[in-house]
Chains A and B, each alone.
Chain A
Amino acid sequence: MQAPLTLGQLEKKANDVRQDIIHMLEAAGSGHSAGPLGLADIVTALYFNIMNIRPEEPEWPERDMFFLSNGHCVPVQYATMAERGYFDVDELTTLRKFGSRLQGHPERTMLPGLENTSGPLGSGLSQAAGYAYSLQYLDNNKHRFVYVITGDGELDEGNIWEAAMFAGKYKLSQLIVFIDRNNIQIDGSTDDVMPLEDLRGKWESFGWHVQEIDGHNIESVIDAASMARAITGKPSAIIAHTIPGKGVDFMEYDYKWHGSPPNSEQAKEALMKLRTLNGKITPGHMA
């Protein structure tokens, strides 16, 4: 198992993941920018600190599980998996190409390390809940955890609330869900398309423990996961407030980047933004 990274190292790693995402999307010519960039800190924290995993042994029976429910954000998962050693970083630019293991939306059978197939929204939480149910009630295994990421637009789907009721009923305490609260979806802001508040109240009323964090503060992400693991008798929801397109100033807060990749020009600019932390440092410092 690799030595734990410091917070500074984790933050740098998340920046590497963001750059990988830009490279991937530019090469692919299609795909989603806003969500993956927004999730880079959370996914980096999961793969490099929170989860008990073995990249060289993707089916290790004692591993923690990660189910990406908003499957369109898979570029951030592929990038983080590559950085973590599941496969070569060079393979990332095969995203969405014919013959690639990196399908446009994640398919479990195509890439070792993926735990589910998703894309059509709303089913990942249920799949994770089924796994968590097995651990808790059928396998009597109390030390493995099941992590999920959902979008916030994804919470429009009824299947999500069926899963929420199920997890609440069965008190799935090994189920931990990060909700990517970036306030955007395809047709506009979540408030305009389908308002979600009182979001915290909804999950609490379904029997969940709820935390709210800054999804870009890696220390907060790690602390929230620790708290969630310590909660018994309830599943955990962590509402993570994120900025869509985080890291690239011309993409941030703009829902139009939800389903668009950067073109070459924009990719070049985006990489410059990432390498200089939006102009705060000179690129040499990132070496």
Chain B
Amino acid sequence: MNDFSLQSELFSDDIKQEATRVGFGRGLKAAGEASEQVVALSADLTESTQISLFKEAFPERFIEIGVAEQNLVTVASGLARAGKIPFTSSYAAFSPGRNWEQIRTTICLNDMPVKIVGSHAGISVGPDGATHQMLEDIALMRVLPNMVVVAPGDSVEAEKATKAIAVNGKPSYLRLAREKTPIFSTDDSPFEIGKAYVLREGNDVALLGTGTMTYQLLVAARRLEERGVQAEVVHVPTVKPLDKATILASLRKTGRAVTAEEAQIAGGFGGAIAELVTENMPLPLLRLGMKDRFGESGAPNELLDHFGLTGEKMADEIKQFCDRVPRYHQ
């Protein structure tokens, strides 16, 4: 177990909440302070994607592209060719949704260190509805060679992730949410691209979370404990490259695994873990997330509950899974 310090009042009603996009906004500004090469591009969504902080601090390094997401990432590719570190910002549904091929060709294959920020990902986007609730972005980005994929767990981590991505020299994708979510990490918690963190130890089942779903797994683990199941919770903010060592160690110990993501389970984080498991340590795996369907309009909490993406609902599914499927011993 590593030293990932958690907030003390993790399950209090008063737990501090902030949207991961807000942490990104601060992180981008800090990245801009650290390096003059950092530039930010907006596709007409400056305020809601929170690059407004960067714009205010460094107006000469902020570029408005307008509603043109193909141009957004290809101009960024050109800027990177000129030695800049471009962060492109839009809603995930549009970027990488609309411009996936340009990302593939001009950023990944072309090996240009452009940072693609996909804000407003997941169903918690809420009332805007399914068109804007991007669920396929994790899958779309992780299948691209040369792309790093990070989904921070809370806004404190989002700030750190942004700063880390600014200096990693690689094409990178940062997935953010619209809604406020609980902050479970602290300023002292470690963050390193490519590392997973064991937040809670247990022997009965490994709960692997990415993005804001990790907190829900902590809630689920608490519920499960009351029902006699000791769950290990592993936070996996970097979906690509996966921290295989940490994840496999948890699987070896527990013999059963669950993944959770606010995204399609097909091809996304759950898909990545299924691949890892099948090739290294075949054992029972339950993937929680969106099960091959689109979202819909509603209040964020309503939608998360409806689609089973709350700690309470996940605890029920995980308990049934554990009752039904034995631990796998090597």
Contact = CB atoms under 8 A, between A and B. Distances in A.
Interface of A: 67, 107-109, 115-120, 122-123, 126-135, 137-139, 158-159, 162-163, 165-166
A163 B79 CA distance: 13
Contact of A130 (B60, B77, B109): B77
Interface in B24-69: 39, 60-61, 63, 65-66, 68
Given A108-B111, A116-B110, A162-B68, A131 B105 contact: no
A253 B66 CA distance: 39
A155 to B, nearest CB: 14
Given A119-B105, A120-B101, A120-B105, A133 B75 contact: yes
A131 B106 contact: no
Contacts of A131: 78-79, 81-82
Contacts, number: 96
- Find the residue from A67, A120, A130 having the highest chain B CB count within 10 A: A130
Contacts of A122: 70
Interface of B: 39, 60-61, 63, 65-66, 68, 70-71, 74-84, 101-102, 105-106, 109-111
Contacts of A132: 78
A122 B69 CA distance: 13
Nearest to B70: A159
Given A116-B77, A166-B68, 12 more contacts: A115-B81, A116-B106, A116-B110, A117-B110, A120-B101, A126-B78, A127-B78, A128-B78, A130-B74, A130-B80, A133-B78, A134-B78
A256 to B, nearest CB: 27
B70 A138 contact: no
21 contacts: A67-B78, A109-B110, A109-B111, A116-B110, A118-B105, A119-B105, A120-B101, A120-B105, A123-B106, A126-B75, A126-B77, A127-B106, A130-B82, A131-B81, A131-B82, A133-B75, A134-B82, A134-B84, A135-B82, A138-B39, A138-B60
A165 B66 contact: yes
Contact of B61 (A123, A130, A138): A138
Contacts of B61: 138
A130 B66 contact: no
B75 A127 contact: yes
Contacts of B77: 116, 123, 126-127, 130
Contacts of B74: 123, 126-127, 130, 159, 163
B81 A165 contact: no
Contact of B71 (A108, A115, A134, A162): A162
B70 A123 contact: yes
Contacts of B79: 130-131, 133-134, 138
A159 B99 CA distance: 10
Contacts of B39: 138
A125 to B, nearest CB: 8
B81 A127 contact: yes
B70 A162 contact: yes
A115 B111 CA distance: 11
A16 B322 CA distance: 73
A27 to B, nearest CB: 25
A249 B60 CA distance: 53
